[in-house]
Structure formats: C-alpha cells, structure tokens
Structure 1
Amino acid sequence: MTNNLVGGIIPSQPPIEAESDVHAVKSRLEWGEPAFTILDVRDRSSYNQGHIMGAMPMPIDELTDRAVNSLEKSRDIYVYGTNEGESSQAAQKLRSAGFEHVSKLKGGLGAWKAIGGPTEGIIESRTPAGADDYNVVSRMQNHLENQQK
C-alpha cells in the first residue's frame, strides 16, 4: 500500500472542457495549481496594453510554431483572443497541432476583468486592480443603484 498523503488533500483535476469559464481558471490560479498555461493570441501591442497575469503572448499567426516549440502536448492550455471567434480559431489550431487539453476561455480578457482576475500590462498598471474591490459596502451600493436604473 502506498502512502499518498497528497491524494486525499488535492483532488485530481478532471480533463478541461473545450470551453472554460473564467471562474474555473481563476480558482485554479488561486489554488496555485501547476501544469497549466494561459495563452493570449492577440497582437503584441494589445498584449502589452493589458493581459491576464501570467498569460504568455503567442500571436495567432505564430501560434502553432511557437506552441509546438515551447509547450508539452499534454499540458492544460487556456486560450483567449480579441473575440470569441479568434479564441475558437486559436483553440482549433492548437488541437490540430496535437495539443490534447485545449480550452477556449469564454469572454476572454473582458470576462476575466469583470470577475476581478489579476491582470498586468501598460494600461493595467495605471488602473489599480479594482480600487474598490475591498470596499464591500460601496460595491453593494453601486450594485443596488445599477439594478434600479
């Protein structure tokens, strides 16, 4: 009998879906789970302006070559682009190149920012990460005011 301490504590991850919700990826990030990569397939200047923290830049026109040279085929890969179409196209390119666990990040950067996911980049550094994130009272007031409009 092997004594697997980690097995009972850290549940193994189910295979990732073809499309993933930003909440699922954010929780993996917060748990500090290794062995997954987030790819930003937008052009370099968009990436430099702002991207999901830790995302690797791989513009869609260079995607297949760069991914094949730098990533394991069995790695979990979350991909997002400028819009849903570009994200889907990128995910398909990766699957065609033999990557087994590729998931399109639904809503991309916009959805990520909407749930307060960490970002970095030129624009992101000018706007503090959710200046009001910690003020729950004002967030609730804003929410109620917006609901009434």
Structure 2
Amino acid sequence: MTTTAPLAVPPAPPAEAAAYFAARLAFHTDVADVHAALATGAPGFVLVDTRSRAAWDQGHVPGAVHLPTAELPGGLDPSVPVVVHCWGPGCDGATRAALALARAGVRVKEMLGGFEYWAREGLPVESAAGLRLPDPDPLTVPCGC
C-alpha cells in the first residue's frame, strides 16, 4: 500500500492530538468567535488592533482598542484578557504583539485571520466615514464551523 503525503508522518495518538489542539485553542481564537463575544456586550476581553494609525483609520473592528505593537502594553489592565490582531495571516504583527503582552504579564490570545478575515467575512467595519458592512467573500462565508 502506498502512503500518501498527508500520512507520510502518521497522525499523533488521540491523547497527544487532544493535548495539542487544546493547547492551540489556549493561544488562538477566530474572527467568528470574537464577533459573537463582542455582540454580547460583555466579551470578557479587550480586543486590541496592533496595526498602524493609517490602517486603523481605513477601518477597524467596532469596539477595538488601537495600540500599535510599539506602544504595548499601553496601560492595559493585566487582569483582563486581551485578544490581539493585526492585518491578516500573512503578517506577524499580532504574534509580536501577543509576545510583548505575554512578557508584560498579560493573558493574551491571537485572533486568527486578523482584520483581513474580519472584513472578508462581511463583519462590521468602522471608520471616520461611519459603520459599514463589507460584502462577504464567498470563499470564506459561511464557514459553518
């Protein structure tokens, strides 16, 4: 029997896989879950946008706090968890920000997909021009997971 590329390295035993995936969820969250939590009005975390002022001004998540990575920890309350995001999956800005916050004693998660996937999913975007709902990208919506 020929082994296909996905199975060239066999899957981990179930207990190891469960530990890995549980740990991964301790470090990451996604756009849909952040949106749902923000919609409750009491998400239990502060959403921090670490992009530049120019990027923030083009549009940002309503309710997010703007703190570029160079300004972190920026007076955040270390007793309140933080979810950070930058532009998108092709940028390490949120990862660098999460590292800076963790080193400052803040409990932090990174929002996978960043602002790019927030907008691609057609979620609300705020700017000086007001609130708008971008057209959802049919390749990303609906995920259904």
Q: Out of 121, 139, 144, which is 1:115 matched to?
A: 121
Find the counterpart in structure 2 of residue 10 from structure 1: none
Higher helix proportion? 1
Provide the TM-score with structure 2 as the length reference: 0.67
Counterpart AA for 1:89:
R
SS of residue matched to 2:70: coil
Find the counterpart in structure 1 of residue 31 from structure 2: 22
Taking only aligned residues, the RMSD between alpha carbons, in angstroms, comes to: 2.5
Provide the TM-score with structure 1 as the length reference: 0.66
Q: Out of 60, 85, 96, which is 2:92 matched to?
A: 85
Q: Which runs of 4+ in 1 moved over 3 A?
A: none
Query: In percent, how many aligned pairs have the same letter?
Result: 30
> How many pairs were matched up?
113
Q: Deviations over 1:121-145 (max 9, x none)?
A: 14x74x8414x67xxxxx9xx78xx
Counterpart AA for 1:24:
D
Q: Out of 118, 133, 144, which is 1:129 matched to?
A: 133
Residues 1:105 and 2:114 are matched in the alignment: no
SS of residue matched to 1:52: coil
What displacement does 1:62 show? 1.1
Unaligned runs of 5+ in 2: 1-24, 140-145
Q: Is the alpha carbon distance of 1:128 and 1:76 closer, same or farther for their aligned partners in structure 2, counting shifts above 3 Å?
A: same
Counterpart AA for 1:109:
F
Residues 1:74 and 2:79 are matched in the alignment: yes
Counterpart AA for 2:57:
N
* Alpha-carbon separation, structure 2, partners of 1:73 and 1:22: 23
SS of residue matched to 2:92: helix
What displacement does 1:116 show? 2.3
Unaligned runs of 5+ in 1: 1-15, 134-138, 144-149
